[in-house]
């Protein structure tokens, strides 16, 4: 279940945080500190027909389980590998008449594993599922209500011939899923496809400016170092995206994970001045700034609505108008401006308006670089998208530079074997070749590019989703 390297870490009591993990030796950027397979995992409800229930890869054609008709697999190998986890689930789905929601399916899979193996430590595990945090006592009224509904459904779904667990234990498992669930992504790391429980990862505490990152790669998670980590240093990951003022991040962490963040960035409000940056000359009054923030929030709501209805030209129009107003008030690192730039560049790329998209994408990257940790995975992905957009727009020098920068970040955050890093390496070689041609003979480069474009349509960007990029830790918002 855990893939070696657990001797690289040890459990300790972290001041003010409870348990944590610390390094037992020195690490450098891109080192894999440990890898871990899920204790249990399930595919999201919305994707059960499109993703293999064993390896979580998206496939065009999937075989379904002949018995329950619910589970889907790439092939016989995946089906055989799944049987130990699917056996009881198969009976339960048939008996219940349908598959329940992902939370109930995951809770049941965890408890069938506990039934098979007992509650003690499984091999390579530093903590048992019983000892993971559940925070049920911190649940608000809504969460309590949802918990009662989930427990009721679970009891109807659970097989009568299986081991019967106490209500308290069932609630504990739902609490564990709620605060320890980790998002699983498809093979290319671009779409969140499921949720799993990784007990060792559950011991890693949060920091808004962490020294590690987590990536799902080929059926397992990897905890990777973002820079030098000394022996004895606590290992941390960020549970949320850094791109927000400290006050908002603290609220989000309290609401979703029930703790008060005391990391240095939150305590000192580091980068908050940049997140809310305004023009220096002339400096706008506080009232003007306040009003512009409100305009930005209102526009974001309208954008969400237009996006969800597929009115992409309307989205672009709203962004352009808002950016024009923002330009007179905000600086290039202001989060409201960056949100607009991110949306408009993504939607314009989808609409194949690469020239305009590339301008907004460059501005977005300029802001991100001043805010994110240099080895942040989300920064790497954003730079990659901006590089692609510029390449498609014919800005070969900028495009190649960004693709190289993204490649350097992803080598640290995803590692050289991750499919997305390999894709990026291919793009880097292609743009390097085109750049050489461009420098030798720009006229020839333009002619060849034109011919290539007339021959084949440009690779279309994926349709913009209203979902944010998959966040690592799976939380009901």
Integer-rounded Cα radius of gyration of the chain: 24
Instruction: Give the pLDDT mean for 248-258.
Output: 94
Domains in the chain: ranges and CATH: 9-237 (2.170.270.10), 275-454 (1.25.40.10)
Q: Confidence class of residue 163 from pLDDT cuts 50, 70 and 90?
A: very high
Rounded alpha-carbon distances, angstroms, from residue 154 to 84, 91, 104, 118, 440:
20, 14, 6, 20, 67
The answer to whether the beta carbons of residues 331 and 280 sit under 8 Å apart is yes
The answer to whether the beta carbons of residues 240 and 471 sit under 8 Å apart is yes
The structure tokens 């969800």 sit at 308
In whole angstroms, what is the distance from residue 44 CA to residue 63 CA? 18
User: What is the tens place of the pLDDT at every residue in 51-97?
Assistant: 999 999 998 899 999 999 999 999 999 999 999 999 999 999 999 99
Residue 195 dihedral angles phi and psi, to the nearest 5°: -140, 140
User: What is the tens place of the pLDDT at every residue in 397-443?
Assistant: 999 999 999 999 999 999 999 999 999 999 999 999 999 999 999 88
Closest CA to 303 of 343, 330, 265: 343
Contact partners, residue 174, CB within 8 Å, separation at least 6: 103, 107, 134, 136, 147, 150, 151, 154
The structure tokens 């720009």 sit at 442
The share of the chain scoring above pLDDT 90, in percent, equals: 84
Rounded alpha-carbon distances, angstroms, from residue 54 to 72, 214, 218, 219, 464:
8, 20, 11, 9, 28
Q: For residue 45, what are its two tokens? A: 């409800």
Give the pTM.
0.91
On the 0-12 / 13-18 / 19+ scale of CB atoms within 10 A, 79 is buried
Q: Is the pLDDT of residue 17 over 90?
A: no
**Within a 10 A sphere around the Cβ of 309, how many other Cβ atoms?**
11
Q: Confidence class of residue 241 from pLDDT cuts 50, 70 and 90?
A: very high
Instruction: Give the pLDDT mean for 99-103.
Output: 96
């Amino acid at each position: 279940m855990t893939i070696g390297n657990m001797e690289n870490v040890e459990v300790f009591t972290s001041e003010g945080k409870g348990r944590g993990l610390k390094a037992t030796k020195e690490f450098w950027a891109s080192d894999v500190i440990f890898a871990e397979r899920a204790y249990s995992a399930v595919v999201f409800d919305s994707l059960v027909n499109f993703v293999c229930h064993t390896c979580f890869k998206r496939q065009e054609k999937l075989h379904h389980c002949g018995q329950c008709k619910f589970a889907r697999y790439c092939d016989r190998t995946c089906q055989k590998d799944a049987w130990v986890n699917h056996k009881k689930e198969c009976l339960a789905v048939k008996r219940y008449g349908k598959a329940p929601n992902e939370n109930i399916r995951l809770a049941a899979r965890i408890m069938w594993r506990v039934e098979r193996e007992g509650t003690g430590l499984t091999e390579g595990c530093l903590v048992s599922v019983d000892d993971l945090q559940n925070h049920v006592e911190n649940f608000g009224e809504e969460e309590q209500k949802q918990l009662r509904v989930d427990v009721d459904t679970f009891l109807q779904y659970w097989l009568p011939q299986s081991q019967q667990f106490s209500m308290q234990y069932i609630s504990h498992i739902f609490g564990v899923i709620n605060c320890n669930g980790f998002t699983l992504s498809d093979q290319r790391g671009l779409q969140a496809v499921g949720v799993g429980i990784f007990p060792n990862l559950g011991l890693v505490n949060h920091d808004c400016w962490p020294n590690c990152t987590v990536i799902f790669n080929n059926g397992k998670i990897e905890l990777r170092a973002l820079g030098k980590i000394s022996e004895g240093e606590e290992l941390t990951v960020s549970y949320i995206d850094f791109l927000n003022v400290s006050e908002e991040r603290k609220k989000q962490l309290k609401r979703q994970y029930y703790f008060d963040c005391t990391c240095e960035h939150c305590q000192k409000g580091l980068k908050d001045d940049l997140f809310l940056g305004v023009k220096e000359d002339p400096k706008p009054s506080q009232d003007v700034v306040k009003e512009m923030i409100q305009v930005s929030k209102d526009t974001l709501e309208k954008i969400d609505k237009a996006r969800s209805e597929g009115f992409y030209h309307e989205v672009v129009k709203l962004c352009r108008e808002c950016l024009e107003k923002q330009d007179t008030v905000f600086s290039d690192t202001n989060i409201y401006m960056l949100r607009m730039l991110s949306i408009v560049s993504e939607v314009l790329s989808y609409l194949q308006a690469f020239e305009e998209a590339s301008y907004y994408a460059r501005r977005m990257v300029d802001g991100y670089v001043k805010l994110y940790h240099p080895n942040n995975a989300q920064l790497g992905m954003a730079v990659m998208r901006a590089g692609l957009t510029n390449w498609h727009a014919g800005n070969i020098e900028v495009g190649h530079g960004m693709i190289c920068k993204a490649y350097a970040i992803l080598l640290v955050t995803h590692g050289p074997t991750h499919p997305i890093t390999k894709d990026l390496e291919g793009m880097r070689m292609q743009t390097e070749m085109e750049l050489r041609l461009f420098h030798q003979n720009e006229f020839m480069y333009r002619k060849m590019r034109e011919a290539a474009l007339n021959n084949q349509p440009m690779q279309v960007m994926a349709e913009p989703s209203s979902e944010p990029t998959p966040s690592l830790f799976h939380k009901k918002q």
